Amino acid sequence: MHASSRALLRSRGLLNTLSRQHVLRTYSTQLPPPPPSHPSPKVPQPTPTGPQTRHEAHEQNLPINLPFNPPGGGGIPTFEITKNPLFDAALTTFIGIGIVFLGGVGYLKWYKWNVLNKIEEAFAPGYDPALELATHQKRPEHKPGHTDSDIEDLLLNGEEPWTEHLRRKEQDVVDRIIRGEEPGHYFVLLGPKGSGKGTMMFDSMAAIQADGIAMCDAHPDLEVFRLRLGKALNFEYNEDSQTGLFQRRDPREGGPGLDIERALNKLEKVALRLSKKRGRPIVLIINNVHFLQHNDEGQFMLLQLQQRAEAWAASGICTFVFSTDDFWPFYTLRKSGSRMHVLSISDLEAREARFACSRMRKTSEYSTDPEEIADVVEVLGGRLSYINKVSRQKDMLASAKNLLEIEKAWLLSRIGLIQDCDDDVMDEQKWSACSWLLLQEFVRLRQEQEKQLVEDKKSGKVPSWTRPADLPFPTIPYWLCRQLMTRTDFLEELDRINIISIDVRHNVRPDSMLILHAARQVVEESGFQDKLDSVRDRIDEIESLHRTRELTFKDLGKGDKVSLQVDKTGEDED
């Protein structure tokens, strides 16, 4: 047993020695080539006879030969400035931050330069978006043919800009303003809605292709007004800047007023640059400023624009032009306006209105009847917007009367009288009654004008063909209107809803001929005066009831008496 055991141990030691030699030899050799692709014949596997001790040399498992990169040797070479790795890392970081900083400074300089160039492009010829919209539709061809001497001053020669149907007497002044030939002032165009303020400005802009002009429409919401002003000036309020990644707060958090102030600061730099190049100021038009809210917010915005208008007019770099339908913007601007000039725009005279209507009628497919045109002007007056509506209709007179019926219905819906009204609507009826007192006075003045016209025709003072439309509008001074209405705050509301119109001389008149005719039809109805008096009496009764105090006594039985004594000797005793 001992001899056989020793022989077995010797055989196992020899086997281990051979295995170690085989392993060392296989680590230094390459992998054998892959076997051929043809299938090898199957070799029958011997049947295992029992558990035996197996080694990896028996299994012929060869280890994979992989490249080995020992630590500290080879690798990618590094750029060393000094022999201190910590100092090299700090220096590399500082250089990177410096490159980013210089790139940011360069971008900021370029961005500010680009912003000023974009605003300057807004005043280049042909850019203005408002003019593009206004002149997008091609105008009809004009066929001259009217040569009466009384309207020759309204016609234009072919070299001057002209309106589509006639040239108004205010057009020359507007042309000089738009061309920048009126430095040192800023202007307010005041007139009722549809009288032609915007048309004259667009005609002047089209004549010079909006060279040096930008136009913006006001809006009650200052955020919308901010965007419209930015569109007119080609200014994005830094919203297209990439520097917002490094800012702590949004620039718009200051509100629209602060953004508009930023835009005006940029515009001032551009105006200084352009005034040196062009030799005349640029023009900024704020159209329909009455759309701003008539409160502190709207008045502050109007004052902010006026401050710039005053400063830029004094330096001669920019001319502001404000247009408004209502009186309150002029009243607000008048407080601080030292360089402000006001241009009142009113309806056309009857002679001009007939000529304009005939010119508009020629562009339609229907025939022109001078008598029908005169009747239409008798109803509509000289309001260009109304004449434009009916001039292309087949039956102009019927269309004009239809507009009159619509205007009358609207007027009654706003200030209609209610007899025996409840106390809840007392304030509204007080406003209506005071409004009809004013309109009644306008109607009375118109009736007196027509009576005087009849007498003048008989005496030969005026030609026999003179019509009532040739008479001037009845006007009442502002101070007298306050006395007639007994309320000073009602005039402003009537002007806002376009029932009356107030000019720069503080003369009050009906807003249009349609309003005057509609009010006259209502006033001349039978029983109108009694209705107006009953409403006023009812208002007095309600106000008297509000001033009356009622005393109530409790716990009084049948036959009890209450004694009330008034002692007027207390003042003498004191």
Distance CA 63, CA 314 (A): 94
pLDDT for res 12: 53
In 3-state terms, what secondary structure has residue 567? coil
The secondary element (H helix, E strand) that includes residue 223 is helix 222-233
- Do 315 and 377 sit in the same domain of this protein? no
Q: What is the mean pLDDT of residues 169-178?
A: 92
Task: Tell me: pLDDT of 552 over 80.
Answer: no
Task: Tell me: pLDDT of 496 over 80.
Answer: yes
- Do 383 and 421 sit in the same domain of this protein? no
Q: What is the mean pLDDT of residues 177-184?
A: 92
Distance CA 71, CA 422 (A): 101
Angle (deg, nearest 10), helices 370-380 and 396-415: 10
- Do 355 and 219 sit in the same domain of this protein? no
- Do 180 and 273 sit in the same domain of this protein? yes
Distance CA 320, CA 178 (A): 10
Q: Which phi and psi angles does 313 have, rounded to 5°?
A: -70, -35
- Do 364 and 462 sit in the same domain of this protein? no
Percent of the chain as helix, strand, coil, to the nearest 5: 55, 5, 40
Q: Does residue 518 lie within any of the structural domains?
A: yes
Please state, rounded to an integer, the average pLDDT across all residues of the chain: 80
Indicate the DSSP class of residue 476. E
What one-character-per-residue DSSP string does 438-486 give? HHHHHHHHHHHHHHHHHHHHHHTSS-TT--GGGSPPP-EEHHHHHHHHS
Q: What is the mean pLDDT of residues 500-519?
A: 94
Identify residue 242 by its one-letter amino acid code. Q
- Do 321 and 364 sit in the same domain of this protein? no
Q: Sorting pLDDT into bands at 50, 70 and 90, what band is 574?
A: low
CB of 251 closer than 8 Å to CB of 238:
yes
Task: Tell me: pLDDT of 147 over 70.
Answer: no
Q: How many helices (H) and strands (E) does the chain have?
A: 20, 8
- Do 368 and 392 sit in the same domain of this protein? yes
pLDDT for res 88: 78
Of 107 and 347, more confident? 347
Structure tokens of 14?
A: 């020899």
Q: Sorting pLDDT into bands at 50, 70 and 90, what band is 284?
A: very high
pLDDT digits (tens, 9 = 90+) for 233-275: 989 887 666 665 555 555 556 788 999 999 999 999 999 999 9
pLDDT digits (tens, 9 = 90+) for 334-389: 998 899 999 999 999 999 899 888 888 887 888 888 899 999 999 999 998 899 88
Helical residues (DSSP H) of 279-383, grouped into ranges:
296-315, 328-333, 350-362, 370-380
- Do 360 and 437 sit in the same domain of this protein? no
Task: Tell me: pLDDT of 22 over 50.
Answer: no
- Do 392 and 459 sit in the same domain of this protein? no
Q: Which phi and psi angles does 510 have, rounded to 5°?
A: -60, 145
pLDDT for res 81: 63
Q: Does residue 207 lie within any of the structural domains?
A: yes
pLDDT for res 23: 42
Q: Which phi and psi angles does 509 have, rounded to 5°?
A: -145, 165
Distance CA 73, CA 31 (A): 26
Q: Sorting pLDDT into bands at 50, 70 and 90, what band is 462?
A: confident
Q: What is the mean pLDDT of residues 67-96?
A: 66
pTM (two decimals): 0.73
Indicate the DSSP class of residue 46. P
Structure tokens of 322?
A: 């404000």
CB of 263 closer than 8 Å to CB of 235:
yes
Distance CA 121, CA 107 (A): 21
Distance CA 4, CA 9 (A): 9
Q: Which phi and psi angles does 129 have, rounded to 5°?
A: -70, -30
Write the CB contacts of 498 (distance below 8 Å, at least 6 apart in sequence): 192, 193, 325, 511, 512, 515
- Do 363 and 375 sit in the same domain of this protein? yes
Distance CA 340, CA 26 (A): 104
Number of domains in the chain: 3
- Do 358 and 470 sit in the same domain of this protein? no
Neighbour order of strands in the sheet with 507-510: 476-477, 507-510, 500-502
HEC sequence for 324-352: ECCCHHHHHHCCCCCCEEEEECCCCCHHH
Of 277 and 163, more confident? 277
Q: What is the mean pLDDT of residues 199-224?
A: 92
Q: Does residue 20 lie within any of the structural domains?
A: no
Q: Where in the sequence is the domain holding 515, given as residue range(s)?
A: 416-547
Q: For residue 249, what are the CA distances in angstroms to 100, 237, 266, 412, 464?
A: 21, 14, 21, 53, 75
Q: What is the mean pLDDT of residues 278-294?
A: 94
Best-predicted range by mean pLDDT (29-43, 139-153, 163-177, 304-318) = 304-318
- Do 340 and 377 sit in the same domain of this protein? no
pLDDT for res 11: 53
- The percentage of residues in the chain with a pLDDT greater than 90, rounded to a whole number, is 44
Q: Does residue 319 lie within any of the structural domains?
A: yes
Distance CA 111, CA 109 (A): 5
CATH number at residue 181: 3.40.50.300
HEC sequence for 129-170: HHHHHHCCCCCCCCCCCCCCHHHHHHCCCCCCCCCCCCCCCC
Structure tokens of 51?
A: 């558990």
pLDDT for res 111: 82
- If one counts every other C-beta atom within 10 angstroms of the C-beta of residue 51, the result is 6
Q: What is the largest CA-CA distance in the chain?
A: 170
CB of 498 closer than 8 Å to CB of 514:
no
